[in-house]
């Protein structure tokens, strides 16, 4: 799975960009969840994230005719941008 990872040291924010085209198998969804959890743990967060959440993001990304969705993770929480 190809993703883009950025860390802004001044804002103390991780940005994880996932590409809709990379999701073709169930394990891709599980891998995305694991990656988000790893970065979330750095900020003391424990996201309640399941395969259905990621599937919904992929579907919404397709509906909006976009190619990617992004998780922004910091001390205040997690945001998703499509």
Structure confidence at residue 7 (pLDDT): 95
How does pLDDT run across 29-81, given as a tens digit for each residue? 999 999 999 999 999 999 999 999 999 999 999 999 999 999 999 999 999 99
Q: In angstroms, what CA-CA distances link 77 with 4, 46, 71?
A: 19, 9, 10
Domain residue limits at 42 = 3-81
Q: How many domains does the chain have?
A: 1
Structure confidence at residue 12 (pLDDT): 94
Burial of 73 (0-12, 13-18, 19+ CB in 10 A): buried
Structure confidence at residue 52 (pLDDT): 95
Q: What is the pTM of this model?
A: 0.92
Q: 24: pLDDT confidence band, cut at 50, 70 and 90? A: very high
Structure confidence at residue 41 (pLDDT): 95
């Amino acid at each position: 799975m190809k993703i883009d990872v950025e860390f802004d040291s001044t804002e103390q924010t991780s940005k994880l960009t996932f590409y809709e085209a990379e999701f073709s198998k169930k394990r891709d969804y599980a891998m995305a969840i694991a990656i988000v959890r790893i970065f979330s743990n750095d900020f003391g967060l424990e996201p309640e994230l399941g395969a259905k959440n990621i599937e919904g993001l992929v579907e919404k990304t397709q509906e909006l005719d976009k190619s990617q969705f992004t998780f922004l993770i910091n001390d205040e929480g997690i945001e998703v941008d499509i």
